[in-house]
Amino acid sequence: MSNNVTIDANGFFGEYGGQYVPEQLLPILNELSATFEKYKDDPDFIQEFQYYLTKYSGRPTPLYLCSNLTEELGGAKIYLKREDLNHLGAHKVNNTIGQILLAKRMGKKKIIAETGAGQHGVATAATAALMGMKCTVYMGEVDVERQKLNVFRMRMMGAEVVAAKSGQKTLKEAVDEALAAWVQEADDTFYLLGSAVGPHPYPIMVRTFQSVIGKEAKEQCLEDEGRLPDFCIACVGGGSNAIGLFSDFVDDKEVKLVGVEPSGRSLKDGDHAATLCLGEPGIMHGFNSYMLKDNNGDPAPVYSISAGLDYPSVGPEHSHLKDLGRAEYVHASDKEATDAFFKLSQTEGIIPALESSHALAYAMKLAPTLDKEKIIVVNLSGRGDKDVGQIEEMISRGELKLP
Ligand SMILES: *Cc1c(COP(=O)(O)O)cnc(C)c1O
C-alpha cells in the first residue's frame, strides 16, 4: 500500500497537518505511527486487510455508468463508484477494517471513536464486534437525535454510545470528548478516527486505507473506457472518501480532481460548512488545515443538511492539494443536494446519501457543459437509506417537495 503524495517525517503535507496535541498524546501517536509504518507494506497485513474488504465488505465495488442520467443531461458520461454497496452502506468500513487490524496488532482491547452522521460509529461498532473488542462511540447530542436509527444500530452491535453535550453538540464536540477520554486510557485503547483528519498519522493512515476506492476506479475505468476519466468528483466532509478516490489519480495530471463542500442554506457564516472554499488556515483538533473560524479564531458554528459534512475543518492533504492547484474545491447547497438526491433516485433507482448528493449535484451541473466523450467519475460515498426519514419529515413539514 505505497502512497504517492509526499508527506514529511513530521506528518506535514506542505504546511498542513502535523501534531498539535497535548504532550501526553505525542508518545501515543508516535507508537501508532510506528505501527502503521511497520505494517502498511507488510504482506500478511495487506492480505488480511484484503480478505475483510472482499469477504466482509463485498469489494470490489462496481463502477456504474448512469446511462439514463447521462442521456437526460446530454453531456459527459457519468459513472458512479458504488461505495454505497459496501457492507453498512458507505465507504467508512474500508477505514475501520484497516485501523482495527492495526489495533489488533498493537494488542489493544478497547476502541473509542467519534461520529457525526453515525455512519463511522456504525462501521466502528461493526468491526469492533467482528474483532471481539469493546467499543465506545462519542456522538454530539444533536446528531444522536438526527440519526436515531444509527445510534440503535451501534447499540445492537454491542457498542456504548455517549452523547456529547457541550457547545454545538455536533461532531466537533464529539471529537473533543473522545480525545479527552483517550488521554485517560490510552494504554489499552485504540482511537479509531473516522476521516482523513486529526494529528499525524491519522490523515495518511485513513488515506491509505481508503485509497482502494481510487485504485479500483482507475482499473475499472481503464477496462470499461480504455482510458482515464476526465473528472473525479467527491463530496468533502473530513475528506476521506474524496482523498480515497483522488490519491491514485494525483500523478495523472490530465485527470481533474474536484471536491464538493456543503454550502448549506447560504454562504453566510453559520449557514454552511464549506471549509476549503470559504475558510482560512488554522489549527484545530491537533492539525493545521483550512478551517472555518469565528471572530475569536475558534472553530465556527457550521451547518449542512447532511450530518456527515458539517465539520469546520478538513483533511490537511486537501488543503495542500488546493494550494498546489492540483485539486479544485467547489460547493453545493442543501437545495442542489436534495435535487440531486431525487434525480438519481428517479432516473437510476439509486437513493444516494445526502453527503454523496453534493458531489452528484456538481457533476450534474458540469456534465451538460462537456462533450459526450468526456468521462466523469462521481464517488457515491454512501446509500441514502439513513436519510430517507429526514427527507420524509422535510416533505411533511412542507420544506421540500417530492418531484
Ligand atoms: C461520513 C460520510 C461522508 C463524509 O466523510 P468524508 O471523510 O469526507 O468522506 C461522506 N459520505 C458518506 C456517505 C459518509 O457516511
pLDDT tens digits along 241-255: 999 999 999 999 999
Count of C-beta atoms within a 10 Å radius of residue 128 = 27
pLDDT confidence of residue 4: 45
What's 353's domain CATH number?
3.40.50.1100
DSSP string, 54-121: HHTT-PSPPEEE-HHHHHHHTSSEEEEE-GGGSGGGBTHHHHHHHHHHHHHHTT--EEEEEESSSHHH
Q: Which atom of ligand 1 is nearest to the CA of 244?
A: 9
Percent above pLDDT 70 for the chain: 98
- Name the residue of 235, 258, 360, 380 to mutate for ligand 1: max ligand atoms within 8 A of Cβ: 235
Residues 351 and 384 in one domain: yes
Is 91 an active-site residue?
Answer: yes
Q: Whose alpha carbon is nearest atom 15 of ligand 1?
A: 119
Q: Which atom of ligand 1 is nearest to the CA of 237?
A: 8
Looking at the domain assignment, is residue 7 inside a domain? Answer: no
Residues 132 and 21 in one domain: yes
Residues 285 and 386 in one domain: yes
Model confidence at 7: pLDDT above 80: no
Residues 347 and 303 in one domain: yes
C-alpha R_g of the chain: 19
For the chain, what is the mean pLDDT?
A: 95
Looking at the domain assignment, is residue 2 inside a domain? Answer: no
Residues 235 and 184 in one domain: no
User: Sorting pLDDT into bands at 50, 70 and 90, what band is 5?
Assistant: low
Residues 295 and 201 in one domain: no
Q: How far is the C-alpha of 379 from the C-alpha of 262, rounded, in Å?
A: 15
Report the candidate in 245, 257, 259 with the shortest Cα–Cα distance to residue 212.
245
Residues 186 and 47 in one domain: yes
Model confidence at 6: pLDDT above 70: no
Looking at the domain assignment, is residue 316 inside a domain? Answer: yes
Q: Which atom of ligand 1 is nearest to the CA of 383?
A: 13
Q: What is the mean pLDDT of residues 305-314?
A: 90
Calculate how far, in angstroms, residue 23's C-alpha sits from the geometric centre of ligand 1: 30
Looking at the domain assignment, is residue 3 inside a domain? Answer: no
Count of C-beta atoms within a 10 Å radius of residue 369 = 10
Q: What is the mean pLDDT of residues 289-300?
A: 94
Name the domain boundary from 206, 240, 273.
206
Q: Whose alpha carbon is nearest atom 14 of ligand 1?
A: 308
User: Sorting pLDDT into bands at 50, 70 and 90, what band is 8?
Assistant: low
Calculate how far, in angstroms, residue 158's C-alpha sits from the geometric centre of ligand 1: 23
Is 66 an active-site residue?
Answer: yes
- Name the residue of 124, 245, 355, 386 to mutate for ligand 1: max ligand atoms within 8 A of Cβ: 355
pLDDT confidence of residue 176: 85
Residues 251 and 387 in one domain: yes
Calculate how far, in angstroms, residue 45's C-alpha sits from the geometric centre of ligand 1: 25
pLDDT tens digits along 10-39: 799 999 999 999 888 899 999 999 999 999
Name the domain boundary from 185, 206, 227.
206
Residues 220 and 127 in one domain: no
Query: Is residue 256 within a helix (H) or strand (E), and if so which, with residue range?
Result: strand 256-264
Residues 260 and 339 in one domain: yes
Looking at the domain assignment, is residue 62 inside a domain? Answer: yes
Looking at the domain assignment, is residue 191 inside a domain? Answer: yes
Q: Which atom of ligand 1 is nearest to the CA of 242?
A: 9
Name the domain boundary from 206, 236, 256.
206
pLDDT tens digits along 201-227: 999 999 999 999 999 999 999 999 999
Calculate how far, in angstroms, residue 257's C-alpha sits from the geometric centre of ligand 1: 17
Looking at the domain assignment, is residue 401 inside a domain? Answer: no
Q: How far is the C-alpha of 84 from the C-alpha of 201, rounded, in Å?
A: 27
pLDDT confidence of residue 3: 44
Q: State the residue range of the domain holding 34.
A: 12-53+92-206
Calculate how far, in angstroms, residue 311's C-alpha sits from the geometric centre of ligand 1: 11
- Name the residue of 83, 85, 92 to mutate for ligand 1: max ligand atoms within 8 A of Cβ: 92
pLDDT tens digits along 117-138: 788 999 999 999 999 999 999 9
Q: What is the mean pLDDT of residues 188-201?
A: 96
Residues 175 and 66 in one domain: no
Calculate how far, in angstroms, residue 188's C-alpha sits from the geometric centre of ligand 1: 28
User: Sorting pLDDT into bands at 50, 70 and 90, what band is 293?
Assistant: very high
Phi then psi for residue 112, to 5 deg, are: -120, 150
Residues in the chain: 403
Report the candidate in 66, 88, 120 with the shortest Cα–Cα distance to residue 350.
66
Instruction: Single out the catalytic residue among 66, 221, 232, 277.
Output: 66
Residues 293 and 308 in one domain: yes
Instruction: Single out the catalytic residue among 87, 91, 120, 318.
Output: 91
Tell me the CA end-to-end span of the chain in Å, nearest whole number: 44
Q: Whose alpha carbon is nearest atom 13 of ligand 1?
A: 382
CA of residue 48 relative to chain centroid, distance? 23
Q: What is the mean pLDDT of residues 276-300?
A: 95
Looking at the domain assignment, is residue 403 inside a domain? Answer: no
Q: Which atom of ligand 1 is nearest to the CA of 240?
A: 7
> Tell me, what DSSP letter sits at residue 367?
G
Count of C-beta atoms within a 10 Å radius of residue 43 = 7
Q: Which residues contact 41 (CB under 8 A, 6 or more apart)?
A: 1, 2
Calculate how far, in angstroms, residue 230's C-alpha sits from the geometric centre of ligand 1: 23
Pocket of ligand 1 (CB under 6 A): 90, 92, 117, 119-120, 195, 235-242, 308-309, 353, 355-356, 381-382
Calculate how far, in angstroms, residue 237's C-alpha sits from the geometric centre of ligand 1: 6
Q: Which atom of ligand 1 is nearest to the CA of 120?
A: 1
- Name the residue of 83, 119, 285, 329 to mutate for ligand 1: max ligand atoms within 8 A of Cβ: 119
User: What is the total count of domains within the chain?
Assistant: 2
pLDDT tens digits along 47-92: 999 999 999 999 999 999 999 999 999 999 999 999 999 999 999 9
Q: Which atom of ligand 1 is nearest to the CA of 236?
A: 8
